[in-house]
Chains A and B, each alone.
Chain A
């Protein structure tokens, strides 16, 4: 189970790049592979790492992890032609763009967050605003709104689901990965990755 620190690291260093990763993956010939599966497997690996302190470039690391997930799945699938495998293996992860990290703490990002919250359905939005903007506990939100705690929890679950999609699919389109680059550091960092089967 991911620790508090790991969750914070995923939220700050990985989540902002997920949209770009999805775009990158969607251009690959991932025959019969579901991008959502690749994303979940990738998070599972990142959540399960012993430590992340040595990762200097989380974005590149994320892309390498996703690539390893894809390769593993391709090898297992038995259908994919050899050329699809070699195409993927030789694939370079895209260069660092002036990505979401750079603006993460900025006012722009805060506005994005506000916009995302505004897209939630009314009840869900009220619950989420009280919980995250006013920082009330779920129990306090239930009291304030005169609804049961389990209803608050359901609205929170729905909000998290919708917001996950909003962050990683919609809204600001991710910066396209235009050119590949070498990143030896990332390469050596990921060399130890082993997938659980």
Chain B
């Protein structure tokens, strides 16, 4: 994994910590930790106060369920199934089977609409541009800045390669003609939904589901992860999957680029500068790490990095100095 990608500098998210903490609590649940494990745990805990909190919380969750013993050996979880908060209608294998017969005519009709895209043409956006491509069968693909897709539409399968960058897919439902997005080694397979896919420079891929559900897996994987509306998965360059829940508002914000806006809520100045570098060649330079660590908030235009830098400088009490190709933020 490269270490120079901007997102690597982002502090570990609460969700990531929570996941590791649960693993540690499960290890502790086995019995006494070995000497080495104990040392490793202490080292892990020591790096961030939130880790101790997450670990204590995970232990507490485990202890909370001690009273489950009172349910007795006759307990069968199935009796409580109906109380489940409607499990996701998992994509069934058969949906992946190609349809024959009557559905074929419809597929052929739709295929005509893809004529312009089926010849293996690529669609690209320059830095700072977004582009929406409406497809005849009702789907649409919106490309974010500096991105490239290569659609490969076939009679019974709609395939798109996300070669670079980020795109939002609004896929019309067609159970006989699955829609598959390839992002490097990651494969996303859907029926009808709205979701975004972003490839990071370090090889990571992020998929966020705004509507419906999708399946995400490594190319050729037999058991992909099922992702519902409001969930986001990040696939690390090594192929680790990390699924987290995201509020609808946050998801909407994350695709604000569709309307030319960028939400910097909770980012540091350094992260905001890296984000702007995706959209523009006008650079925001921050030499001082203390300045880079300052938090910013608010919604800005993706096309105006200098305006953002000036606004940030004003609110943070620092100065924005124009340079040949952008702006430098520094202390007064």
Contacts and interface: CB of A to CB of B under 8 A. Distances in A.
Interface of A: 1-2, 6-8, 10-12, 14-15, 18, 31-34, 36-37, 39-48, 77-79, 109-111, 113-120, 125, 128-129, 131-135, 137-139, 149, 153-154, 156-161, 163-165, 167, 169-171, 196
B18 A164 contact: yes
Contacts of B220: none
Contacts of A2: 52, 55-56, 59
Nearest to B18: A161
Contacts of B328: none
Given A78-B316, A139-B30, A159-B26, 7 more contacts: A2-B59, A44-B53, A115-B84, A137-B30, A153-B30, A160-B58, A170-B85
A156 B29 contact: yes
Interface in B58-92: 58-73, 75, 77-81, 83-85, 87
B141 interface: no
A40 B54 contact: yes
A188 B56 CA distance: 25
B285 interface: no
B326 to A, nearest CB: 22
Nearest to B74: A133
B26 A157 contact: yes
A34 B14 contact: yes
30 contacts: A1-B41, A7-B59, A8-B63, A11-B64, A14-B60, A15-B64, A32-B267, A34-B13, A37-B50, A40-B53, A43-B54, A43-B56, A114-B77, A115-B84, A117-B80, A118-B78, A118-B81, A118-B84, A119-B84, A128-B65, A131-B29, A133-B73, A133-B75, A134-B73, A135-B69, A138-B31, A153-B23, A154-B26, A161-B18, A171-B85
In this complex, the member of A10, A41, A117, A132 whose beta carbon has the largest number of chain B beta carbons within 10 angstroms is A132
Contacts of B71: 110, 113-114, 133
Contacts of A78: 294-295, 316-317
B34 interface: no
B80 to A, nearest CB: 4
Contacts of B22: 157-158, 160-161, 164
